[in-house]
Amino acid sequence: MKKAKLLYNPSAGESIVIDKLDDIIRIHQKHGYQLVTARLDESFRMIEALSDINDGYDHVIVAGGDGTVDLLVNEMMRAGLRIPIGILPAGTANDYSKYIGMPPDLSAACERILSSAPVPMDIGMINERYFINVASAGLFTDVSQKTDDDMKNSIGKLAYYLKGLEQLPNFRRIHVRITSKDGSYDGGMFMVLVFNGRTAGNIELAYKARGNDGKLDVILIKDEALREIFPLLIKFLRREHLEEPVGLIYFQTDELTIETTDRNLVSDIDGEKGPDFPLKIKCIPDAILVMGVNEDELAASKRAVWTAT
């Protein structure tokens, strides 16, 4: 019998993984897998959960939100582990799992994972850390890290919106300098987002992004965009804001640097606090192997599906 590891965060989302745990084990057994489980909490962290991973494991399943997946990817990269990852959307936002086309129902997602071949996917690196979906800074971008976990679990995504409203009195312009061979900017902004994925807070912003194209998608909303904010919002809803970007800067690149003199500006990585400025960000192509990917999402990249040797 093949062996797989399940890592789950019992407090993620509305703790839905607890109700589905038996189904997840049953489905793995049906597909011929022995499932070894590890419950993640403050006393049993990701590094301990991965301590027994070896060549005997076929894949790792992680049940949680973007932050939990981010922790897994960081520990795997540090340890030099390259085994396939399956992602069960059990968090509040689940931006990355939605981007790769995972069904919201955990049983259906599990079936999809076990019925597919792993696909090589890019990740981002910001200073010495890794991210799967988005690195950001500025207005609204640190909402997740400032939102209490109990509030997230009780009212879900609404908690993010309520926390975002609290930031409106602090609405201010921030000076940044962005340097890249594909695009540069030196001036004021409201926010900057660097996508490896496509969505932030379930809003599809980087709709041209492909998860294995070797590029990151950079979106910066300029401080002069205030007078353009309503036309810009309409373009966001129509997914036209990257076509003729009035009030924002958009480009794709494999590496960039972001600097600022604002000591109050913090970075955010997949909903968690990121490193201090300056930020050196780059794309790491084909860094991880992801199961259950909807290949229609990646059709433009024409990358080969990974197969075990």
- Positive or negative, the CA dihedral 183, 184, 190, 195 is positive
Looking up tokens 């960081």, which residue turns up?
74
- Name the token pair of 161: 């919106």
Instruction: Please indicate, yes or no, whether residues 83 and 170 belong to a single structural domain of this protein.
Output: no
pLDDT at 264: 84
Closest CA to 262 of 165, 173, 135: 173
Closest CA to 141 of 229, 81, 203, 89: 203
- Positive or negative, the CA dihedral 98, 103, 104, 107 is negative
Between the CA of residue 122 and those of 166, 210, 275, 290, what are the distances in Å?
A: 34, 9, 20, 10
Instruction: Please indicate, yes or no, whether residues 184 and 54 belong to a single structural domain of this protein.
Output: no
What string of pLDDT tens digits covers the 309 residues of the chain? Answer: 899 999 998 877 667 888 999 999 999 999 999 999 999 988 899 999 999 998 899 999 999 989 899 999 999 999 999 999 999 999 877 999 999 999 999 999 999 999 999 999 999 999 999 999 999 998 755 445 444 454 444 444 444 444 444 554 456 678 999 999 999 999 998 889 999 999 887 788 898 998 899 999 999 988 875 666 667 777 777 777 888 777 889 999 999 999 999 888 889 998 888 999 999 999 999 999 999 998 775 554 334 334 333
Residue ranges making up the domain that contains 78: 2-115
Cβ of 167: how many Cβ atoms within 10 Å?
A: 15
In a domain, 295, yes or no: no
CB 202 within 8 Å of CB 157: yes
- How many domains, in total, are found in the chain? 2
Cβ-in-10-Å burial (0-12, 13-18, 19+) of 115 comes to exposed
pTM for this entry: 0.85
pLDDT at 14: 66
In a domain, 262, yes or no: yes
In a domain, 301, yes or no: no
CB 89 within 8 Å of CB 109: yes
Instruction: Please indicate, yes or no, whether residues 102 and 133 belong to a single structural domain of this protein.
Output: no
pLDDT at 243: 82
